[in-house]
Amino acid sequence: MSTINPQDQELLTLLKKKIQQVSGLPSPDNWSQKDFDFLVFFIEEKSGIRISLSTLKRIWKNENNRLPHISTLDALSQVAFQKKWLSLKSDSVLKQEPISSKKEKSSNKILWSSFIVIVMGLLIFFSYGYFKNESKNKTLDIGNVQFSAHTSVDNRVPNSVVFDYDVSEIEAEKFYLQQSWDASRRVEILKENKQQTDIYYLPGLYFAKLIADTTILAQIPVHIKTDDWHLTSNRDNTGKFYDRKQWLTNGTLGVLRNEKTLEESNLLFYNSRDFKTDGDNFQYTSSFKMDSIPTYQCPKMSLILKGNNDYFIFQILKKGCESDAFLKLSEKQISGKTNDLTMFGADVYTWQNIHVNVENKVLTLSLNGNKIYENEYGNPIGSLKEITYVFSGWGAIDNVELKDTKGIITYADDFE
């Protein structure tokens, strides 16, 4: 970290205000523990980077006298303006030096006015889309771009992916390859080269992008598959993989608790494969239960069902914590901050049975045999490629079953 100068402080304040706006949170003066917990999830969902609760509290309460780590700044900048910190900073007139000490007051007024103009310009820029406003992008010929990928191993991670590309006929200042939607995984590539490699440490369906300056030339799916469940934990941007020796042996899927894992507060279960099931017409059932962690007041389970076009997110939370609930149905995002999602509260310390039914883009969600939610969406999900459970806390699952609309089981696991 480095000491915060006035220019950095101004930009950091701008980022916080913008994130408060897009997240729907009230003034931070009235924030509770639940609001900070929601902000942790919201930033991770939008940026792919998890910032610890303690770090976010220091930033929003202005308790740090040093600039946060660059990965934290990148996450905040990505959520607010879809740019990395240094890129956003270079676009801002805050980087300008004062003209003279005698004209400091006048210079500051001009600087602030210019800053407001730049910020308004940025907001307009991003409201119309990150890749649409550069005039040179409108005339960029991308007809002869070649972009493909293949994995080095089958059905396991880590997995090195080889990207083949040809941008020899494209005129641009710089070229980039982005591993997924996470802009922090973007690397610069050379025009004269034909290959670039990258390592994927987690299974799942990703979309890699080939970029010239700010224009996406091509986007291709990269499916990192598994032949079994993949269990990890994630806390404060560090991850840990659990092999079968550390799994539960009682006919459920989870991780054995011990003194070393007692303080770990996030478990992730991945299953990534071609489920050969239409994401807009299927039935999915499973059960889950969480363990009590004394220091964790609002445990929750997030279920992610991802297709090759879009995905669903459902969250079941401890009763009383429903304000933190969040749902995603393809293009629709529903927050418990601005919607009544109290029906998603449950006794998560006992087994809960969840049933998802999707028919012709109409989703019905039931909990323990009772219908709790129904909504429709527009954009197709596509063929299902990934099932992921994220426990904010510690938990286990059982009796997973996926069916098509004809009632044919396409995937099932009772962990016996």
What domains sit in the chain, N to C, each tagged with a CATH number? 6-127 (no CATH), 136-224 (2.60.40), 230-413 (2.60.120.560)
Q: To the nearest whole percent, how much of the chain has pLDDT over 70?
A: 83
* Single-letter residue type at 180: S
Q: Is the pLDDT of residue 77 over 50?
A: yes
Rounded (10°) angle between helices 6-23 and 70-81: 50
Distance of CA 286 to the CA centre of its chain: 23
Average pLDDT over residues 306-326: 94
212-255 residue pLDDT tens: 998 999 999 999 999 999 998 865 444 578 888 889 988 999 98
With tokens 């070229």, the residue in question is 175
113-157 residue pLDDT tens: 444 344 434 433 334 333 333 333 334 555 678 999 999 999 989
The predicted structure's pLDDT at residue 264: 53
- Alpha-carbon gap, residue 79 to 398, rounded angstroms: 35
The predicted structure's pLDDT at residue 261: 54
- 361: region left, alpha or beta (phi > 0 left; psi from -120 to 50 alpha): left
- Alpha-carbon gap, residue 112 to 43, rounded angstroms: 28
- Alpha-carbon gap, residue 285 to 202, rounded angstroms: 24
Q: Is the pLDDT of residue 24 over 80?
A: no
Tokens of 322: 């429903």
* Single-letter residue type at 276: K
Please state, as a whole number, how many other Cβ atoms lie within 10 Å of the Cβ of residue 118: 15
The vertex-85 CA angle with 38 and 59, nearest 5°, equals: 40
Average pLDDT over residues 334-354: 95
Helices (H), strands (E): how many in the chain? 7, 22
- Alpha-carbon gap, residue 181 to 211, rounded angstroms: 12
Q: Whole-number mean pLDDT of the chain?
A: 82
Q: Which residue has the higher pLDDT, 359 or 18?
A: 359
Contacts of 318 (CB under 8 A, 6+ apart): 297, 298, 299, 300, 345, 346, 347, 348, 349
